[in-house]
Chains A and B, each alone.
Chain A
């Protein structure tokens, strides 16, 4: 047994988190900043933060993840990190020549009270930022929220520090991506193109974290939302924020700064959430949904109908991040499956309310908890008390899955031991189809494995 010390008896904890279902803000900020073209993320803190975040993102994507650090020492921690950040900005522009440096803070620089706005302004005033280049920032204290909060804060920073309102509206729409994979962002762009809607998608990590092998390392890969696109976001007709926790804060900020109205949607994972996304986009843009998209949808529904018997009533435990968990849970319910246990380390009443609303309407007995101590240890204990047929979550779930001998589907962040997530989307109808295929494979492989010889089926 890998997790041999996990007991069945659940005791409330107040101080100790065991096997967290979240990580800290700065990694989210680093990921978001990689979705801007020509941008180098910069971690204002100890070297370890930057090293850990780069390592985790690299393991998840099997791609270069470039980022710099202020390399705090004890002296910087006592006297403030301004000198380190100014030196870093100078070194970065002379050696790595980015268009943008996106600075995020850490628990260290937040605790000592470094003011990123003031320091980055000073960098500009001191002439350390070359003409036409940018230094943007986001405050991402690790002791508040989770990695999802950090993502949201950096996306907000990107929106507010680039978008300008010229007073002349452009016939385009912002789509603010919640924390999703490059494959998902690529799929959002494809669907928008199918609909004939001109969008500005940000951030956009496609063609950054799924870069081709060419024999040359492109320090700034071809992908990422451009500065020009970001600036024009202030003139867009409206914004769609895909995810209440990871995307909406940027939409709110953009409405405030540039008066761009917005609508918040669930991330389009699964049938119903994708329906809402397609409806919303076609409505705001005043376009008809093309037959090809209707056909894509039809293919997904077709599979759901044809294979319903295998998924019906299957009990699922899941852990992950709010903006994914909500539509995923809804999709499981659409598939007639039974979400039994759900945890997310990301705190927040908004998410709690939304999830409870969904569950109260369609699966009131589901156990759900988010925030402090809503960790994988608790989830595992719940599973020991009320077993499930399937576990869905990031790579760390494999330890529980192996111990409990439960089929496991990797979904969320980080996925450290498989590829695919960066290449094949989970969003849209095709993403839905991929999810259904995964669910079916997991359940049906298990049926094949466990079937008595006389009950072993050729055709399923």
Chain B
């Protein structure tokens, strides 16, 4: 497919983006800036070290582990072992919403816990202080679970958070204490932290509660963090359709649900980048297949629901799904029909996350807008090109440091939910079972794909393409807006949302319409600054 809008020559754009870099940097960046062809899908360099000094969007491993994956859990006391900053910056800033059943239920999300490591702890070791902190947290709150997150100095001075956790877990008996070695320097981005988080949650939580879950169609929602209430909307739809959500990883989740997750019959994966490890490991150990879905976009939501119904292969469920889609669609259609004339033909750029830059292209397509350039902040090649490239991805020194858990089928609990033949048949029907096609297949020919976009490249791209909207995060928000282009934050949603499901699609359509058609962008120049206006030069009455 080729977009019917005029693209600048993308190979020239590519040259221009790297021209100013020192030779070595230019050579490296060139491999991450790719002109797309959905039929061939060229290789994109991804998940490699960022060039120091280049001004990256990326964060660290700790952010991926504590911030992204464990941050949304509400009844775990998440203690950050390190100097105060790391815990402070991850305190409520990701907008993970949660809703307890009663005021008596545990909710630690509004709290920030830290060992506030001091110089003497760095010099003489911080394990003692950590254990005191864990004890104090236990005495104060009596939580079901306490998780410990290591920050940079912890790994360097050799504090053993796992030993400390084990000691305290055994001491308490009724509180599951476990640690994560997610020091900020591990890996090359947040992505390392996702993997570390997956390992820890899999090892220390999943499978601890074998109470059979109730329901005919039972699944887990993986990689949905309930930012802006996204998970609430998906929960609403599941309930309407009659699907039982056993556990969510990890938006609006509870310890009990995660510990019981292995009793579900399907894992659906939203954010492939941050949680695919969990899908794989649960399949190997418990025999639960996983399937890539997308609830961002009304059509994508409908499609994903149909895939889930197809997986369960139940006619009643299929009929119910159709009924719900038919019920929800008119409301969505009414809004998009009204908005579409104002957004059609406009262009978008998305440089964000490890899955969002893909998912949101569906919503822009529904708005009649073309994605002219996109890229991820911390994804891997499989998120761009599809999982079929996995065997050809070279494991470099930075990835090698992240533990790959050796998972075997559980002698008692392994129970393949589908036979190989059934899975094959489902795949043939187009279900992305244990698969993901990646972003590039969906993008137009000659669109630009850039991994780990630098600030410099973003300014250049905006100059060249002048997109109608740019999607990224808070660090980019006001930079891009200073250039007169609205920026939609796709981490925090500019404090709006939800953007999933039918409700979310409506919210997104309205937000984008508001942003790209906002009169403020035409008010930037003062009347006396506009071309041909002689204000201040010659008073008009003089010539009259």
- Which A positions have Cβ atoms within 8 angstroms of B? 1-5, 7, 11, 13-20, 22-27, 42, 45-49, 51-56, 58-59, 62-77, 84-85, 87-92, 94-96, 106-108, 111-112, 141-144, 146-147, 211, 213-218, 345, 372-373, 377, 396, 399, 416
Q: Which residue of B lies closest to A376 (CB)?
A: B112
3 closest residue pairs by CB, A with B: A48-B60, A24-B85, A88-B53
Q: Which residue of A lies closest to B398 (CB)?
A: A73
* B47 cross-chain contacts in A, Cβ below 8 A: none
A213 touches B114 (CB 8 A): no
Assess the B132–A14 pair: CB atoms within 8 A: yes
A15 is contacted by which of B82, B135, B155, B475 (Cβ under 8 Å)? B135
Which residue of B is nearest A48, CB measured?
B60
B404 within 8 A of A: no
B49 adjacent to A94 (CB under 8 Å): no
| Assembly CA distance A25 to B20 (angstroms) | 33
Chain A residues with CB below 8 A from B456, complex form: 95-96
- Check: B393 CB closer than 8 A to any chain A CB: no
Chain B residues lying within 8 Å of A106, measured Cβ to Cβ, are 152
Q: How far is the CA of A5 from the CA of B110 in the complex (A)?
A: 10
Q: B296: CB under 8 A from chain A?
A: no
- The smallest C-beta distance from B369 to any residue of chain A, in angstroms, reads 22
Tell me which of A1, A3, A24, A89 has the highest count of chain B C-beta atoms within 10 A of its own C-beta. Answer: A24
15 residue pairs A–B, Cβ–Cβ below 8 Å: A1-B103, A15-B134, A15-B135, A16-B133, A24-B83, A47-B50, A47-B58, A48-B63, A58-B477, A70-B52, A74-B397, A87-B53, A144-B118, A213-B482, A216-B483
Interface residue stretch chosen among B34-42, B185-193, B222-230, B304-312: B185-193
Residues of B within 8 A of A69 (CB): 52-53, 56
Complex: how many Å from CA A84 to CA B56? 14
Whether A94 lies near B478 (C-beta < 8 A) is no
B122: interface (CB < 8 Å): yes
Q: Within B264-295, which residues are at the interface with A (CB < 8 Å)?
A: none
Q: A3-B110, A55-B475, A372-B118 are in contact. List 15 more A-B contacts (CB 8 A).
A: A15-B132, A46-B62, A46-B183, A48-B63, A52-B59, A70-B53, A73-B185, A75-B398, A88-B53, A95-B54, A108-B184, A141-B119, A143-B119, A143-B122, A345-B84
Would you give the shortest CB distance from A9 to chain B, in whole angstroms?
9
Q: CB within 8 A of A17: which of B53, B62, B84? A: B84
Assess A77 versus B152: contact at CB under 8 Å? Given A16-B136, A143-B121, A372-B118. yes
Q: How far is the CA of A24 from the CA of B137 in the complex (A)?
A: 22
A229 to chain B: closest CB distance in Å?
A: 25
**A90–B114 CB distance below 8 A:** no
- One of B88-96, B251-259, B332-340, B436-444 contacting the partner: B88-96
Q: How far is the CB of B275 from chain A (nearest CB, A)?
A: 20
Q: Which of B50, B121, B459 is within 8 Å of A71, CB to CB?
A: B50
Q: Could you say which of A27, A84, A215 contacts B484, with CB atoms under 8 Å apart?
A: A215
Please, which residues of chain A bring their CB within 8 A of the CB of B92?
396
For residues 442 through 470 of chain B, which have their beta carbon under 8 Å from a beta carbon of chain A? 454-456, 459
B82 contacts across to A, CB distance below 8 A:
107, 142
- A13 CB contacts on chain B under 8 angstroms: 136
How many Å lie between the Cα of A358 and that of B323 in the bound state? Answer: 71
Which residues of the partner chain B approach A42 to less than 8 Å between Cβ atoms? 53
Chain B 391-428: CB-based contact to A (< 8 A → 1; otherwise 0): 00000011001000000000000000000000000000
CB distance from B268 to the nearest CB of A (A): 30
- Given A15-B132, A52-B63, A108-B152, A24 and B475 touching (CB < 8 A)? no
For residue B202, CB closer than 8 A to chain A, the reply is: no
Residues in A with CB closer than 8 Å to B459 are 217
B13 at the interface (CB under 8 A from A): no
Q: Which residues of B contact A56 (CB under 8 A)?
A: 89, 93
> Which of A48, A65, A108 is in CB contact (< 8 Å) with B59?
A48
Task: Select from chain A the residue with minimum beta-carbon distance to B459.
Answer: A217
Q: With A69-B52, A142-B83, A215-B483 as known contacts, state yes or no: A49 contacts B184, CB within 8 Å.
A: yes
Q: Is the CB of B59 within 8 A of A19?
A: no
B residues with a Cβ closer than 8 A to A are 20-22, 25, 49-63, 79, 82-93, 103, 106-108, 110-119, 121-122, 129-137, 139-141, 151-153, 155-157, 183-189, 397-398, 401, 454-456, 459, 473-475, 477-484, 524-525
What is the bound-complex CA distance between A373 and B88, given in angstroms?
A: 14
Contacts of A72 in B (CB 8 A): 152, 184-185
User: Bound state CA distance, A415 and B151, in angstroms?
Assistant: 25
Which listed residue (B60, B482, B484) contacts A47, Cβ 8 A? B60
Complex CA gap A85/B52 in Å reads 7
Which residues of chain B are near A54, meaning CB under 8 Å?
475
B482 in complex: contacting residue of A45, A95, A96, A216, CB < 8 Å: A216
Q: Would you call A46 and B115 a contact (CB within 8 A)?
A: no
Chain B residues with Cβ below 8 Å from A215 are 482-484, 524-525
| Minimum C-beta distance from B475 to chain A (A) | 5
CB distance from A3 to the nearest CB of B (A): 6
Complex CA–CA separation, A143 to B156 (angstroms): 14
In the bound complex, what is the Cα–Cα distance between A91 and B49 (angstroms)? 15
- Among B52, B114, B118, B398, point to the contact of A88 (Cβ < 8 A): B52
Nearest-neighbour CB distance to chain A for B296, whole angstroms, equals 23
Measured between C-beta atoms, what is the minimum distance from B157 to chain A in Å?
7
Interface contact A20-B88, CB-CB below 8 Å: yes
Given A15-B133, A47-B60: A24 and B55 within 8 A (CB)?
no
Quote the shortest CB–CB distance from A137 to chain B (angstroms). 15
Interface centre among B22, B51, B184 (most CB of A within 10 A): B184
Q: Residue of B at shortest CB range from A416?
A: B93
Quick one: given A112-B156, A215-B525, are A107 and B151 in contact (CB under 8 Å)? yes
Q: CA–CA, A380 to B196, complex, Å? A: 34
Minimum CB–CB distance for A11 against chain B, Å: 7
A84 to B52, CA, bound (A): 6
Give every chain A residue within 8 A of B83 (Cβ-Cβ): 24, 107, 141-143
A217:B483 contact, CB within 8 angstroms: yes
Given the contacts A17-B116, A90-B22, A91-B52, A5 and B111 also touching, CB distance less than 8 Å: yes
Most buried by A among B57, B88, B480: B88
CA distance A87 to B23 in the complex (A): 12
**Cβ–Cβ contact B482 & A66, under 8 A:** no
| Shortest Cβ distance from residue B167 to the other chain A in the assembled complex, whole angstroms | 14
Residues of B near A372 (CB, < 8 A) are 116, 118
In the complex, the chain A residue whose C-beta lies closest to that of B473 is A55
Q: Which residue of A lies closest to B190 (CB)?
A: A48
Check A91–B85 contact: CB distance below 8 A.
no
Flag if B22 contacts A24 (CB, 8 Å): no
Report A212 CB to chain B, min CB distance, Å.
9
The smallest beta-carbon distance between A298 and chain B, in angstroms, is 36
Q: CA–CA, A4 to B186, complex, Å? A: 35
User: In the complex, A54 Cα to B89 Cα: how many Å?
Assistant: 10
* Measured CA separation A14–B474 after assembly (Å): 35
Q: Are A59 and B52 within 8 A (Cβ)?
A: no
Chain B residue at smallest Cβ distance from A395:
B92
| A67 to B, closest residue via Cβ | B55
Query: Is the pair B118, A76 in contact by a Cβ cutoff of 8 Å?
Result: no
With A52-B59, A68-B53, A107-B82 as given contacts, are A17 and B115 in contact (CB-CB < 8 Å)? yes
Across the interface, name the chain A residue whose C-beta is closest to B475. Answer: A54
